Amino acid sequence: MTVKPIRSVTIVGGGTAGWMTAAAMSKIFADHDLKIALIESEQIGTVGVGEATIPQILLFNRMLGIDENAFIKATQATFKLGIEFEGWRRQGHSYLHPFGSYGSDMDGVMFHHFWLNARQRGYEVELPEFCLQVLAAREGRFLRPVPNAKNSPLGHIAYAFQFDAGLYAKYLRDYAEARGVERIEGRVEHTSLHPENGHLASVSLQDGREYSADFFIDCSGFRGLLIEQALETGYEDWSDWLPCNRALAVPSERVRAPDPFTRSTARPAGWQWHIPLQHRTGNGHVYCSDHMRDDEAAAILLDNLEGRALRDPIQLRFVTGHRRKFWNRNVLAIGLAAGFMEPLESTSIHLIQSGIARLMTLFPDRSFNPADIEEYNRLTLQEYEYVRDFLVLHYRQTERDDSEFWRRCRNLPMTDHLARKLELYRTNGRVYREKDELFNETSWLAVMDGQGVVPEGHHPLVASLGEMEVDARLEQILSVIRASADHMPRHEEFIAQHCAAEPDLLSENV
Amino acid sequence: MTRPIRRIAILGSGLEAVLAEFVLAQRTGLEVARYSESNTPALSAAHSVLTPQALQQLEHAGLSLRDLLGLPGSLPTLGARLSKEGQTRCRPFGPCGLDWAGTGFHHHWLRARHGGLAVPYAAFSPAYRAMQENRFAPPDRRNRIGALQHESGLHVHPAALFDRLAQARQAHPIHPGLDVDADLIIDAREVTPGLERAETGIVQPCSEWTCEVGELHVSIPLRGETLEQRIAPASPTTAILPPWTGNRVSIGQAAHAGPCLPGLAVERLLFELDLLIELMPDAACDPAETLEYNRIWIEEMKEVDALVSLYLDVENPRASERLQMFQHRGYVRSLDTSLVTESDWISHALALGHIPRHHDPLSHRLDDSRLKLELGQLLQKVNTVSGEFPPFAVYLEAIDKALGRAEETA
């Protein structure tokens, strides 16, 4: 039995994807005879989109053994309890997609069925009032989960971060270099393939230096230097489902205490993000060029900043979709080189993270077993499809008809998966999460409820509890959630006490 | 607003019907009536193995382990001993070994095996040695080794379980022209009843599975007798068809009469009931819930059939795909099913002697000497723990005493 272990891995491209991959591999292969190199050029800027994350990022940081407060200080991070969607259902309406759950399940039945039962009898309290994260976000509060409070909502506070992706990459670069990753400064100019098997043999830099490796990881961004330009893998276009194809990004001055949530505000031909960090605010406008000119989009973005813009907006052009193969021969694409979906639900960094995790599970040897590669591609495609369907839900379930773009969104095509989810919810409020699906029942519930999808019924077993009992339980849960929220400190106070960035950093990294 | 379901009718005279009646009545609080075509219960040895998962679900429905232990013939079990082509291997319930450095234990074991380790995979569960030496202890924190906790199930006599469940529940007779008044009708009529008894052998805490040509022969020891079951391939006409149409849903054998491994028959029925409760429709039985039930159920049955095919030498593309990938590098793709999980495929495949050619390269995050040390220390702890299990007969006596049942002994 001969296993031919991979001896060398070359990552092409720095940025968040490249350095997350390098950091993870340097940790996991710490005692292993594996040479890891990363080629990046200071001349090429990084996209740096994806400053907002979802709670799974905590697992990645824990795997690396990163001290959370040190990481927050180094990346100017703030805490995040969810995403607010403003104007998505209709103008003037907003809701929060929280990271925590609603109420408390009873007798094996999800909480919202009890709420639906009461609601259908005239109960007026809205579902979000039963979520600690919603209350805390609205009031600008934050607290990490309290140990030994297993029976309290305070013991289960799920959270993520909003951070400066450039600083995060820098932080991980230090981490990876300290563990032996070799950073090579240079710009990849040429690639050469093995004549026999078509695998990538080496990459050459502008100055003529040539680097070969057993395995290459393409983190070169949209261009896909290796996966596309060298291997011509092909791209699957998902514009029919998600038509936005441009983004403008600009940082602005911080003018008030940072919110513990990311805001997404619907605009006439797309939406605008607002990500408050400790030292500045990240802003961007995602739009569809079929319905809006670039100068109009820039004007909307700049007119809707809370503080002064700190530089001119930079534009990104993208086609939503993915490479036909995420892993092709001995090249694996991670991050934007693998595919792109707008950061409406802060999934960019997560897709990098899950790609790394899958790679670790299916890490090859030099025989590059086709079954492993096929499995990686199958699982990654499935994850992309689930995320895409969740994003489509936000657009398709709008009540807006005030622009051509939103009228188009109301008629976006739906996959069978999404149609089934919607039908189940509409009928009796059922919410299901497929195994390996990123967004859980609470996420689907939050967005379906927020977008105005109203179930006709609810789980029939709720009725067996009796109306008075249901009402009494709802009131009790409401008071516990309210008291828990009151117990949480202000977000900025929590940061100041535990993880405030150094003041001298506040003027840098714009 | 639609009208909730008020009355459920269950058709069937066997254990599956009475179990469905019990669970639904206990967990839903709805009116549940059973209609039986016969006064003699239709019983099958397939329902005599209760896995740890089944015991947990029964407990949730209000049938405690103590209740079940008190039934005549009940015998605790730690898993199965499997004979194939002259080799005997164990498949204990619960996990074997401990995952280290983020990599599944079986990969570390495979690596060591490729390096010459002769100890079987199952030996890294305390249940293995206990099965060899006829000892038993229920899982509890005193015999836990870090995150490694063995599990136990129960062999029950189907007739005793039937009587316990049917207590104070009178079935209505079915007669021609009967108009069943119910919002939801559950068909739980078993198609292959039959109890085959064998000579009483040694009372031991495991069942015996023997793979013969195209057939699996199972001996399930009880106290006082042994039940036999022969599991053969399904007839080619046994298709997996959607079990729920309108207000009528089939469960258990009435839904799919394909062969089922011991333990899986009850687990499957409990899964179906759980899914039914989760997707309980209103009285209009909306197609959305029906479709979802059918979709999930079909996927589960296909996975069950694929796993069963490993034992019966029948062609199954799904099983071939799983096995091919497993044999290459010990990996089983992530599954959407709950009746058959990734770890089930691993334990069944290894028990049947399918040894992967490669292991996960990430196992090398433990260097060779560290791996050897960890495996050695774990094995020592496992053997120490299982060595402290009392002899099975002693354990049974203690149980009898605790239940106040002196007359029945092993």
> What's the N-to-C CA distance of chain A in angstroms?
54
> A461 vs B364: CB contact, 8 Å cut-off?
no
B293: CB partners within 8 A, 6+ apart: B243, B244, B249, B275, B276, B279
Q: Which residue of B has its CA nearest to A360?
A: B362
Detail the DSSP E strand segments found in B7-135: 7-11, 31-36, 49-50, 75-77, 79-84, 87-92
Tell me the backbone φ, ψ of residue B268, rounded to 5 degrees.
-65, -45
Tell me the C-alpha distance between B10 and B189, whole Å. Answer: 9
CB-nearest partner of B361 from A5, A432, A464: A5
Predicted confidence (pLDDT) at residue B170 exceeds the cutoff of 60: yes
Report residue B16 as tokens: 């599956």
Q: Within 10 Å of residue B198's Cβ, how many Cβ atoms?
A: 12
A279: CB partners within 8 A, 6+ apart: A76, A164, A254, A501, A505, A506, A507, A508, A509
Residue B1 has what pLDDT? 53
Using the Cβ of B331 and the Cβ atoms of chain A, whether some distance falls under 8 Å is answered with yes
- Asked if residues A245 and A318 have their Cβ atoms less than 8 Å apart, the reply is yes
Length reported for chain A: 510
- Asked if residues B8 and B191 have their Cβ atoms less than 8 Å apart, the reply is no
CA B122 from chain centre, in angstroms, equals: 18
Report residue B150 as tokens: 């063995």
Domains of chain A (ranges, CATH numbers): 8-51+164-236+320-386 (3.50.50.60), 98-162+403-493 (no CATH), 246-317 (no CATH)
> A463 vs B286: CB contact, 8 Å cut-off?
no
**pLDDT tens column, B379-409:** 999 999 999 999 999 999 999 999 887 554 4
pLDDT band for position A503 (50/70/90)? Answer: low
CB-nearest partner of B365 from A32, A420, A424: A32
> CA dist A460 to A189, A319, A465, B382, B388, Å?
64, 44, 10, 48, 50
**3 state DSSP class of B100:** strand
Weakest mean pLDDT among A151-155, A387-391, B265-269, B380-384: A151-155
Distance (Å) from the alpha carbon of A307 to chain B's nearest alpha carbon: 45
> A463 vs B291: CB contact, 8 Å cut-off?
no
Q: Give the mean pLDDT of chain A.
A: 93
Could you tell me where the DSSP H helices lie in A85-212? 111-119, 132-138, 165-178
Residues of A in contact with B295 (CB under 8 A): 420
Tell me the C-alpha distance between A477 and A459, whole Å. Answer: 19
> A424 vs B292: CB contact, 8 Å cut-off?
yes
**pLDDT tens column, B146-160:** 999 999 999 999 999
Which of B199, B220, B201, B210 shows the shortest CA–CA distance to B74? B220
Q: Within 10 Å of residue A370's Cβ, how many Cβ atoms?
A: 10
> Buried b / exposed e across B352-363, counting CB within 10 Å, b at 16+?
beeebebbbbbb
Predicted confidence (pLDDT) at residue A154 exceeds the cutoff of 80: yes
Predicted confidence (pLDDT) at residue A298 exceeds the cutoff of 70: yes
Tell me the backbone φ, ψ of residue B174, rounded to 5 degrees.
-95, 135
**pLDDT tens column, A274-290:** 999 999 999 999 999 99
Q: How are beta strands B172-173 and B31-36 bridged, if at all?
A: parallel
Tell me the C-alpha distance between B18 and B51, whole Å. Answer: 19
- Asked if residues B324 and B358 have their Cβ atoms less than 8 Å apart, the reply is no
Share of chain B above pLDDT 90, in %: 70
Weakest mean pLDDT among A122-131, A154-163, B1-10, B223-232: B1-10
- Asked if residues A388 and A242 have their Cβ atoms less than 8 Å apart, the reply is yes
**3 state DSSP class of B34:** strand
Helix (H) or strand (E) holding B28: helix B15-28
Q: Which residue of B has its CA nearest to A460?
A: B4
pLDDT band for position B362 (50/70/90)? Answer: confident
Q: Give the mean pLDDT of chain B.
A: 91
Torsion (CA) B358, B364, B365, B369 in degrees, nearest 10 = 140
- Asked if residues A38 and A183 have their Cβ atoms less than 8 Å apart, the reply is yes
DSSP B83: E
Distance (Å) from the alpha carbon of B203 to chain A's nearest alpha carbon: 38
Residues of A with CB under 8 A from a CB of B: 1, 3, 5-6, 28-32, 63, 108, 120, 360-365, 369, 371-372, 375, 378-379, 420, 423-424, 426-428, 430, 432, 434-436, 456-457, 459-461, 463-464
Predicted confidence (pLDDT) at residue B345 exceeds the cutoff of 90: yes
Distance (Å) from the alpha carbon of B276 to chain A's nearest alpha carbon: 11
> A360 vs B102: CB contact, 8 Å cut-off?
yes
Q: Which of B270, B280, B298 to mutate to test the interface with A (most CBs of A within 10 A)?
A: B280
Residue A106 has what pLDDT? 86
> CA dist A183 to A13, A174, A176, A186, B34, Å?
10, 10, 9, 10, 72
Residues of B in contact with A432 (CB under 8 A): 292
Distance (Å) from the alpha carbon of B277 to chain A's nearest alpha carbon: 8
> A424 vs B333: CB contact, 8 Å cut-off?
no
Q: Which residue of B has its CA nearest to A437?
A: B336
pLDDT band for position A509 (50/70/90)? Answer: very low
Average pLDDT over residues B46-66: 95
Using the Cβ of B369 and the Cβ atoms of chain A, whether some distance falls under 8 Å is answered with no
Residue B317 has what pLDDT? 93
Report residue A316 as tokens: 């990104």
Q: Which of A7, A60, A369 to mutate to test the interface with B (most CBs of B within 10 A)?
A: A369
Catalytic residue among A73, A80, A325, A421: A80
CB-nearest partner of B324 from A3, A31, A371: A371
What is the three-state SS of A61-119?
Answer: HHHHCCCHHHHHHHHCCEEECEEEEECCCCCCCEEEEECCCCCCCECCECHHHHHHHHH
Average pLDDT over residues A105-123: 93
CA B1 from chain centre, in angstroms, equals: 40
CB-nearest partner of A435 from B1, B286, B336: B336
Using the Cβ of B289 and the Cβ atoms of chain A, whether some distance falls under 8 Å is answered with yes
Between residues B128 and B287, which one has the greater pLDDT? B128
Q: For helices B264-278 and B287-312, what crossing angle results, to 10°? A: 170
Tell me the backbone φ, ψ of residue A56, rounded to 5 degrees.
-60, -20
Around B33, how many Cα atoms within 13 Å sit in the side-chain half-sphere?
Answer: 13
Using the Cβ of B107 and the Cβ atoms of chain A, whether some distance falls under 8 Å is answered with no
Q: Is the dihedral of CA B353, B358, B360, B361 positive or negative?
A: positive
Domains of chain B (ranges, CATH numbers): 46-156+195-244+284-402 (3.50.50.60)
CA angle B48, B52, B54 (to 5 degrees): 60
Q: How are beta strands A327-328 and A331-333 bridged, if at all?
A: antiparallel
The interface predicted TM-score (ipTM) is 0.76
> CA dist B12 to A103, B27, B163, B257, Å?
40, 20, 15, 15
pLDDT band for position A49 (50/70/90)? Answer: low
Report residue B13 as tokens: 């005279």
**pLDDT tens column, B291-302:** 999 999 999 999
Weakest mean pLDDT among A90-94, B329-333, B340-344: B329-333
Residue B190 has what pLDDT? 82
**For residue B115, with 0-12 CB atoms within 10 Å meaning exposed, 13-18 middle and 19 or more buried, which class applies?**
exposed
Report residue B205 as tokens: 């805490």
Residues of A in contact with B355 (CB under 8 A): none
Predicted confidence (pLDDT) at residue A46 exceeds the cutoff of 70: no
A258: CB partners within 8 A, 6+ apart: A78, A162, A276, A277, A278, A281, A491, A492, A495
Distance (Å) from the alpha carbon of A184 to chain B's nearest alpha carbon: 26
**pLDDT tens column, B100-143:** 877 899 999 999 999 999 999 999 999 999 999 999 999 999 99
The C-alpha R_g of chain A, in whole angstroms, comes to 24
Tell me the C-alpha distance between A359 and A25, whole Å. Answer: 10
Predicted confidence (pLDDT) at residue A436 exceeds the cutoff of 80: no
Around B249, how many Cα atoms within 13 Å sit in the side-chain half-sphere?
Answer: 29
CB-nearest partner of A28 from B291, B365, B367: B365
Top-ranked range on mean pLDDT: pick from A151-155, B41-45, B93-97 = B93-97
Helix (H) or strand (E) holding A217: strand A215-218
CA angle A493, A495, A498 (to 5 degrees): 105
**pLDDT tens column, A349-405:** 999 999 999 998 889 989 998 988 999 999 999 999 999 999 999 999 999 999 999
Residue A506 has what pLDDT? 46
> A375 vs B333: CB contact, 8 Å cut-off?
yes
Q: How are beta strands A200-205 and A210-212 bridged, if at all?
A: antiparallel
- Count A/B contacts: CB-CB distance under 8 Å: 99
DSSP B11: E
| Phi-psi sector, A301: left (phi>0), alpha (psi -120 to 50), beta | alpha
pLDDT band for position B43 (50/70/90)? Answer: confident
Residues of A in contact with B1 (CB under 8 A): 120, 456-457
- Asked if residues B207 and B194 have their Cβ atoms less than 8 Å apart, the reply is no
Predicted confidence (pLDDT) at residue A215 exceeds the cutoff of 80: yes
Tell me the C-alpha distance between A311 and B376, whole Å. Answer: 62
pLDDT band for position A2 (50/70/90)? Answer: low
Between residues A466 and B82, which one has the greater pLDDT? B82
Q: How are beta strands B79-84 and B207-212 bridged, if at all?
A: parallel
- Asked if residues B326 and A329 have their Cβ atoms less than 8 Å apart, the reply is no
Predicted confidence (pLDDT) at residue A202 exceeds the cutoff of 80: yes
Residues of B in contact with A110 (CB under 8 A): none
Tell me the C-alpha distance between B285 and A336, whole Å. Answer: 45
The answer to whether A27 is a known catalytic residue is no
Residues of B in contact with A361 (CB under 8 A): 331, 360, 362
Tell me the backbone φ, ψ of residue B211, rounded to 5 degrees.
-85, 115
pLDDT band for position A510 (50/70/90)? Answer: very low
Report residue B8 as tokens: 């459920």
| Phi-psi sector, A331: left (phi>0), alpha (psi -120 to 50), beta | beta
